[in-house]
Amino acid sequence: MSGPIVVDSVAALRAQIRDWRQDGQTIAMVPTMGALHDGHISLVRIALEKAERCVVSIFVNPTQFAPTEDLDKYPRQLARDLDRLREAGAHLAFTPSVAEMYPAGFATRISVGGPSSGLETDFRPAFFDGVATVVAKLFLQAAPDFAIFGEKDYQQLCVVRQLCRDLDLLVEIVGAPTVRDSHGLAMSSRNAYLGETEINVARKLNAVLHQTAAKLASGADEASAISEAVGALIQAGFRKVDYVAAREAVTLGPWRRDRDGRLLAAAWLGTTRMIDNLEIPSA
């Protein structure tokens, strides 16, 4: 099986998209920062089910990293990523440089309100502006019919949906279930930072969220259940908990028992920050 077409310029990307469009083919896009794992490959498979051509972007986006975050050490393994895309059947890999995406004089940022409020924004204030800006650029560059995002980054998924609604972007956003290992740990490129002992602790994050969601669904006091979850994570070995929060599933506003909810968490293992979320069934 031949590998995907690899292009690193917007002009080359658009030329290939134009050829496919002239042949009447539909296009699905999977935006990534590379270091592809089984979770990413599950998104590619969904893209191939949705459309006739699958485009995967691989770009470590500097505008969503704060100066204190892990931009320089974020895993980059393009050759391996291309092998994985070949095996998965992706048709094109878009691998732009920072200069291609943010040329000299670039001065525009997109800020999305609503679901970006709180949670990640409380700890990474510039994060969603960076995400919204790069995603909008990718959608304008590739003009896909569909874009596939994992539910693991649930707040990001909500922000991208808001972005497309508000700016009338003609892209259908497809949320894909989180891919987990046999112990429930959500797949993440940052898992590569963890040693064996830390992996065992990390696997407890999802277990605590399951316990907490069950308590909330059965009528437990929200504040007490959240406090118990934070304590359980610290006891399990997490160094610090940024948040555990119950939110309304679509808007990420305050959770109400008569609506579907989402339980979201972010916690630190050593110098690695883990996030996860899961559904809270409605009453």
Q: What is the pLDDT of residues 105-119, one digit of tens each?
A: 999 999 999 999 999
On whether 187 is known to bind a ligand per the annotation, the reply is yes
d(C-alpha 186, C-alpha 182), whole Å: 10
Q: What is the pLDDT of residues 182-233, one digit of tens each?
A: 999 999 999 999 999 999 999 999 999 999 999 999 999 999 999 999 999 9
- Please give the span between the terminal C-alpha atoms of the chain, in angstroms, as a whole number: 49
Domains, in order of start, for the chain: 5-176 (3.40.50.620), 189-280 (3.30.1300.10)
pLDDT of residue 180: 96
On whether 171 is known to bind a ligand per the annotation, the reply is no
**In terms of C-beta density within 10 A (0-12 exposed, 13-18 middle, 19 or more buried), how is residue 65 classed?**
middle
- What is the residue type of 172? E
pLDDT value at 135 more than 70: yes
Average pLDDT score over residue span 157-181: 97
| β-strands 92-94, 53-58 pairing | parallel
On whether 248 is known to bind a ligand per the annotation, the reply is no
Q: Which are the catalytic amino acids?
A: 40
Average pLDDT score over residue span 50-64: 97
| β-strands 261-269, 240-248 pairing | antiparallel
Q: What is the pLDDT of residues 257-278, one digit of tens each?
A: 988 999 999 999 999 999 999 9
On whether 151 is known to bind a ligand per the annotation, the reply is yes
On whether 135 is known to bind a ligand per the annotation, the reply is no
